[in-house]
A and B are shown apart, each in its own frame.
Chain A
């Protein structure tokens, strides 16, 4: 018997009081027995592998082991019988309808306040009450479109409501992924069990979203608004957007004008019809809501006010995630629906009433005290019995200062369910996150849920942020329609054509290209400079020392870590190796390699869902090694060079993976444009620092060899010229030779080939504003002759023609980059 050693301490989902198995679990118990504990553990491994392979993660804040954690799924599902479920379903439907009416009232007439059904402090004192949203929803029957609740079974065997979740409830994506993983990994457990399928519900969710945006055009543009890749449930945002056919966007992707919301895409601005919101409402609009938010869209509230955009869920609904409402829910059910509340709640005392407050203050050790509002000034959960006398007193002071901010709740022992924990089956507390959506004027409840499993046996708190696992919920009954093939596969949405790439993604790819090239070229230049310093004493000649000075100066120019080696007087560098180490490793120094890598890391994070898994892995390893390496105070030159070697190997592998796996239409073109612009600029910087001044022949030779070497062009040069290294030839080769792919003219020619492939502003006759400067730059180079570039005015030590040409090309490149940004990323002039 697989359940032999199972000992329960409270109500258990699977076992009766007398230890017998509940009727509706018997088939699963047989299936589990047939499988045996070893096989079950093997299944757990397979599940883990499948989830990891699909990239299912949950980001954990402040986790020293990195932010991204694999998602856990228990192979043993939670089973509910159909009669039990019918009651829950009716209760969820009622609660959704009730919360919707309450929402409309709070942001409308406020009858519940005027008639004293809900004390005004419960609403006014909650940070989710947004005065800006007042009056915005009176024209809608069901502004609240998605309603979720956390449920747990109380000691009476009934399912209780713990929390309402309406702000931007997570779990819809994890719930499907759990089901799909179960389907493929533990088929054996389904034997002789008929469970409700999820397909029809998700189809209804899709059509709900399509209808939301159906006001303006036949093919609406609906988006999922995410706070971005650092959010704990970003995986789910990407996952849901892909199979619901929504464009995944961040606040910066959108722009408000004309009482509507627009998506900045490469093709231009496109009107957005509806937003599935996963960004907390207070962050949605820095103009009217939290002014410190960098995640929102300035003017969004105004667009809602003008009814130019629909949002699921609407702004302001956070006030419903309010434990202060719980004591008044039975009364609200009478008031709005003339019904009894179906789903019970934990007995709660709201401290805003004097009798209740006294009760709570007198009974702190036996209660759980919670703030009514998760994001307000007071937040947190206090388990009375775990508080020291001092802590109790501190809590008492807090309650007395703002009594309406707190509720006391009875401590309830919730039900457990069997879960596979470290190879054994043990009872664990489970919380069900149930979802309902609006469908044809009624709420429809998902016949399944995300079940979260407590992380240890007496855990009262079940939260994704604190680890723990999850389960699939099986509701017994007619299974319902089968999903057609590919129903859950990510669709090749229109988003995958170049025109429809959101501008933010395009911009991130552009910067990915720029920073990657900057890191590679800087690392090479630093490496070669270090090597030259290491050989300093080898020849013991003056010319050699001069060459090293010039290399060091070039490094300061290239990294723009001024004054650096150009410093004079007090700022003069006395220890070149120490200065170079600072340029390598000092993360807070602008221009350092460490800083460029951090910028690259940001671009990597923002484009992560486009890159292949191997690329993330290489990048993770690279950053880990780099952080280890860079924290040294001053390693030996040999260690410095070895670290750079290793960095370059990783960077080159990362680069090859990106270039191999991304298509031009997915945005590789922007990466290439970014990369090309960066290479051109850095080549210009190097050339100005190394080619324009006049040196002694020996020094010049050293410099030219280094320039070729640092550009990985030495062999190509030798093959091409078969001649000794001299300034006119090297300059010609690096700047003007269109046969050589790394020359400046080739780089710019390639940019001119790439740019016309960008959407919008195409003209058969005229050049676009960003093509013009590049075309000029190309012409300057094409019309140049090397003898004139190398010519020296009498008594001059600088090749002025060359320097001026390179300076003006650099300016043109800057203009081209700015114009590109304006046209494709900012869209302010549209």
Chain B
């Protein structure tokens, strides 16, 4: 099965910008469940320099220098990605085995020094946006975790609690809103819910990472889907030693299956922001984003939000 993803970001500046360095993370990474077949990036005005490389976590990055004076910068990425349904199904079976592992077993296993555990440990630690965990959030999460209970099922229950206790409200928060504020207000967007979950799980000693990506959305029955009606999405992933990483989407209360496409992952949003730029000069800028995710043949139907 194939997905076609279109992701376009347009910045409007009040003043002329004549020189800007930008970091762009719009090319999805390959995972055991997805392979990028085709990718193209278009930038207006033309980039004077365009370099691609992968970061420490293995995500794709483009470094772009723009030297043409402009008021607007438009960056559009088009991706065609193949989903390996068989691998996804297999992983579901592996998850069934991982469900046998208890919370205390995970904590014990994280003390090992196998390469995958060493790598996972950096996701146990504070990161730029998640420096400390609110003690109230720690209390909140700990209700779902018991030493001998399955860690997978505990996380799943915790995901469900976020889904039920928090309201999806766009515009309440932005990328810089601290997790404590979101937690207190019990409202936010997908990015906030992922951060809440990661911060909470780390306070329990678990390794949790931030996943940025896309989700396939379908219009209500009988309606035609409008182009660009999608948005980029975020969820989180938890490490169970011996079994690997497992994804959870608290915004929709689902275990990602074949409707979630991974762009990349990091310790939190700061590691994986899709666009970062340094523009000289003062004045505000406005951003508008258009995302579209299309499956080559639509098979299932469900209502999702991102």
A interface, CB within 8 angstroms of B: 113-114, 116, 120-121, 124-125, 131-132, 134, 255-259, 286-288, 291, 298-299, 302, 305-306, 377, 401-402, 404, 826, 828-829
B244 beta carbon closer than 8 Å to chain A: no
Q: Flag if B276 contacts A258 (CB, 8 Å).
A: no
Bound form: Cα–Cα A121–B49 in Å = 37
Q: Which of A114, A258, A404 contacts B49 (CB 8 A)?
A: A258
Tell me if B121 is interfacial: C-beta within 8 Å of chain A.
Answer: yes
Query: Residues of A contacting B146 with CB < 8 Å?
Result: none
Closest CB-CB distance, A808 to chain B, in whole Å? 23
Are B23 and A287 in contact, with the CB atoms below 8 A?
Answer: yes
* Closest chain A residue to B113, Cβ basis: A116
A-B contact pairs, 8 of them (CB 8 A): A121-B125, A131-B271, A258-B49, A299-B21, A299-B63, A299-B65, A306-B51, A402-B126
Please give the distance in Å from B241's CB to the nearest CB on chain A.
14
Contacts of A829 on B, CB cut-off 8 Å? 18, 67
**Assembly CA distance A258 to B19 (angstroms):** 13
Nearest CB in chain B to that of A123: its residue = B122
Which residue of chain B is the closest to A306 with respect to CB atoms?
B51
A299 partner residues in chain B, CB cutoff 8 A: 21, 63, 65, 278
Q: Is B139 an interface residue (CB 8 A)?
A: no
Q: Are B118 and A120 in contact (CB under 8 A)?
A: yes
Q: Which residues on B are within 8 Å of A, measured CB to CB?
A: 18-19, 21-23, 48-49, 51, 53, 55-57, 63, 65, 67, 113, 115, 118, 121-122, 125-126, 131-132, 271, 276-278, 280
A120: chain B residues at CB < 8 Å are 113, 118, 121-122
Q: Is the CB of B121 within 8 A of A302?
A: no
Q: Are A125 and B125 in contact (CB under 8 A)?
A: yes
Beta-carbon contact of A287 and B21 below 8 Å: yes
One of B22, B63, B67, B118 near A114 (C-beta < 8 A): B118
Q: How far is the CA of A298 from the CA of B21 in the complex (A)?
A: 7
Roughly how many angstroms separate A197 CA and B118 CA in the complex, as a whole number? Answer: 48
A124 touches B121 (CB 8 A): yes
Residue of A nearest to B122 (CB): A124
Contact residues in A for B49 (Cβ distance below 8 Å) = 257-259
| A132-B278 contact in complex given A120-B121, A124-B122, A828-B67, C-beta closer than 8 Å | no
Beta-carbon contact of B51 and A302 below 8 Å: yes
Closest to B281 in A: A826
Question: Given A287-B278, A829-B18, is A131 in contact with B126 using a C-beta cutoff of 8 Å?
Answer: no
Taking CB atoms, residues of chain B closer than 8 Å to A255 are: 19
Residues of B within 8 A of A305 (CB): 53
Residue of A nearest to B125 (CB): A125
**Neighbouring B residues of A287 by C-beta, 8 Å:** 21-23, 276-278
Q: Which residue of B lies closest to A305 (CB)?
A: B53
Contacts of A286 in B (CB 8 A): 278
Report yes or no: B126 in contact with A132, Cβ–Cβ below 8 A: no
Question: B19 to A828, Cβ gap below 8 A?
Answer: yes
Q: How far is the CB of B117 from chain A (nearest CB, A)?
A: 9
Report which residue of B23, B67, B132, B278 has the largest number of chain A beta carbons within 10 angstroms of its beta carbon: B278
**Contact yes or no, A114 B121, CB < 8 A:** no
**Smallest beta-carbon distance B287→chain A, Å:** 16
Residues of A within 8 A of B48 (CB): 257
Chain A residues, CB < 8 A from B57: 131
**Other than the known A124-B122, A125-B125, A257-B49, what 20 A-B pairs have Cβ atoms closer than 8 Å?**
A113-B118, A114-B115, A120-B113, A120-B118, A124-B125, A131-B55, A131-B57, A256-B21, A257-B65, A291-B276, A299-B21, A299-B278, A302-B21, A302-B51, A305-B53, A377-B126, A377-B131, A377-B132, A401-B132, A826-B18
Contact B23 A288 (CB under 8 A): yes
Q: Looking at the assembled complex, report how far the CB atom of B66 sits from the nearest CB atom of chain A, in whole angstroms.
A: 10
A116 to B122, CA, bound (A): 15
> Which A residues are in CB contact (< 8 Å) with B19?
255, 826, 828
Most chain A CB atoms below 10 A, which of B67, B118, B280: B118
Chain A min CB distance to B139 (Å): 15
> Which residues on the B side are within 8 Å of A124 (C-beta)?
121-122, 125
Q: How far is the CA of A376 from the CA of B51 in the complex (A)?
A: 31
Give the residue name and chain of the B residue nearest to A827 (CB). B19
CA distance A807 to B126 in the complex (A): 58
A113-B118, A131-B55, A134-B56 are contacts. A302–B63 as well, Cβ < 8 Å? yes
Return A699 CB to nearest CB of chain B, in Å: 41
How far is A826 from B19 in the complex, measured between Cα atoms in Å?
10
Known contacts A132-B56, A257-B49, A258-B49; A828/B18 CB under 8 A: yes
- Shortest CB distance A390–B (Å): 19
| Shortest distance between the CB of A51 and any CB in chain B (Å) | 39
Residue with the highest number of chain B CB atoms closer than 10 Å, among A116, A120, A291, A401: A120
Q: How far is the CA of A211 from the CA of B113 in the complex (A)?
A: 41
Please indicate the chain A residues that have their CB under 8 angstroms from the CB of B277 in the complex: 287
Chain B contacts for A306, CB-based, 8 A: 51
CA distance A259 to B22 in the complex (A): 14
Q: Which residues of B are found within 8 Å of A131, using beta-carbon distances?
A: 55-57, 271
Q: Which residues of A contact B118 (CB under 8 A)?
A: 113-114, 120
> What CA separation (Å) do A258 and B47 show in the bound complex?
12
Which B-chain residue is minimally distant from A110 (CB atoms)?
B118
What residues on B are CB-neighbors of A298 within 8 Å?
21, 278
A256, A299, A305, A377 interface centre (most CB from chain B within 10 Å): A299
Q: Give the shortest distance, in Å, between B11 (CB) and chain A (any CB).
A: 15
What are the residues of chain B within 8 A of A114 when measuring CB–CB? 113, 115, 118
Question: For residue B63, which residue of chain A has the nearest CB?
Answer: A302
Assembly CA distance A305 to B277 (angstroms):
18
> CA separation between A121 and B121, bound complex, in Å?
7
List 8 A-B pairs, minimum CB-CB distance, nearest first: A131-B56, A828-B19, A298-B278, A124-B122, A116-B113, A298-B21, A299-B21, A828-B18
A251 CB, min distance to chain B CBs, angstroms:
11
Name the residue on B nearest A822 (C-beta): B18
Interface-central residue, B22, B48, B56, by most chain A CB under 10 Å: B56
**Chain A residues with CB under 8 A of B21:** 256, 287, 298-299, 302
A307 to chain B, nearest CB (A): 13
Closest to B51 in A: A302
**Residues in A whose Cβ lies below 8 Å from that of B23:** 287-288
Q: B residues within 8 A CB of A132?
A: 55-56
- Give the shortest distance, in Å, between B121 (CB) and chain A (any CB): 5
Return chain A residues, CB-CB under 8 Å to B63. Answer: 299, 302
> Which residues from chain A contact B271 at a C-beta distance below 8 Å?
131
Write the chain B residue with the least CB distance to A130: B56
Closest chain B residue to A119, Cβ basis: B113
Q: Which residues of B contact A116 (CB under 8 A)?
A: 113
Nearest CB in chain A to that of B133: its residue: A401
Which residues in A have their C-beta under 8 angstroms from that of B132? 377, 401
Whole-angstrom CA separation of A829 from B19 in the bound complex: 8
B53 contacts across to A, CB distance below 8 A: 305
A259–B51 CA distance with the chains assembled, in angstroms: 10
Q: What chain A residues lie within 8 Å of B65 (beta carbons)? A: 256-257, 299
Find chain A residues with CB under 8 A from B55 CB.
Answer: 131-132
A629 to chain B, nearest CB (A): 31
Q: Give A121's nearest chain B residue, CB to CB.
A: B121
Shortest beta-carbon distance from B99 to chain A in Å: 27
Taking CB atoms, residues of chain B closer than 8 Å to A259 are 49, 51
Nearest CB of B to A321, in Å: 18
Instruction: Give A402 to B127 CA distance when docked, in angstroms.
Output: 13
* Nearest A residue (CB) for B270: A291
Q: Find the A residue at minimum CB distance from B131.
A: A377
Q: Which residue on A lies nearest to B123, using beta carbons?
A: A124
Chain B residues whose CB sits within 8 angstroms of the CB of A828 once the complex forms: 18-19, 67
**In the assembled complex, which residues on chain A have CB atoms less than 8 Å from the CB atom of B276?**
287, 291
Residue of B nearest to A828 (CB): B19
Query: Which B residues touch A134, using CB under 8 A?
Result: 56
- Nearest residue in B to A131 (C-beta to C-beta)? B56
Chain A contacts of B131 at CB under 8 A?
377
Q: Given the complex of chains A and B, what is the CA–CA distance between A45 and B75 in angstroms?
A: 65
A302 to B61, CA, bound (A): 11
CB nearest to A401 among chain B residues: B132
Interface centre among A134, A257, A404 (most CB of B within 10 A): A257
B163 to chain A, nearest CB (A): 28
